Structures are given as C-alpha cells and as structure tokens.
Amino acid sequence: DAKTTQPPSMDCAEGRAANLPCNHSTISGNEYVYWYRQIHSQGPQYIIHGLKNNETNEMASLIITEDRKSSTLILPHATLRDTAVYYCIVRVAGNNDMRFGAGTRLTVKP
C-alpha cells in the first residue's frame, strides 16, 4: 500500500488560496489519489480524486505531478467554513479500503 505524508497543520487567510501538499512517493500506476476533509464532529466528506491528470470540481482543484509522487489540493478562495482536517489517501488497488493517515489540520483565519 502506498503511504502518504502530509504536514500536520497549516494556516490560511480567509479569501486566499489554500494549497495543501501531499507526498505519495510509492504510489502504484493504478492507484488513485483521493482527498477528503473532516470538519469538527462530522464524518469525512469527499472532495476530489484523480489518477494522473489535474482535476477540478466545485469544491477544489487537484494538481498531480507528472511522476505522480506528490499532489496538491487547492481551495481557491478559502472561507472560515473550510477549517477542517484534510486527508490525502491513496486508494489501495483491488478493494475499497481507504487508509486514512493523520491528515493536515487547516485553519482559515479572518
């Protein structure tokens, strides 16, 4: 199973872009990168996923490096409600097991 490395915490000013990095240097060719977030006292919420191309949806953008060894989740205009723990997960091939690490605690400040 590929493992991920994320910084334990980050701060971001409200209205600015939040860029959350993730290293997954041992990722396999058929493994996807998923991002979830968990707001206090709630279950994890799906944000976005990708294989090798950059992806964008209404919540965020996902930038995956060409060698796929790292990725960055971008929240283009962070709000106070984006304060949460953000998890970068590499999907284990062959089943639906999501291996969560400790994630990055993002604090958006006014």
Partner 1 sequence: EAGVAQSPRYKIIEKRQSVAFWCNPISGHATLYWYQQILGQGPKLLIQFQNNGVVDDSQLPKDRFSAERLKGVDSTLKIQPAKLEDSAVYLCASSRSPIYTGGGGGTQYFGPGTRLTVL
* Residues binding partner 1 (CB under 8 A): 30, 32, 34, 41-46, 49, 51, 87, 91, 93-103
Helix (H, G, I), strand (E, B) or coil at 81: helix
* 103: region left, alpha or beta (phi > 0 left; psi from -120 to 50 alpha): left
**Residue 13 or 39: which CB sits closer to partner 1?**
39
In the block, residue with structure tokens 């994890």 = 44
Q: How far is the CB of 84 from partner 1 (least distance, A)?
A: 13
Q: How far is the CB of 58 from partner 1 (least distance, A)?
A: 15
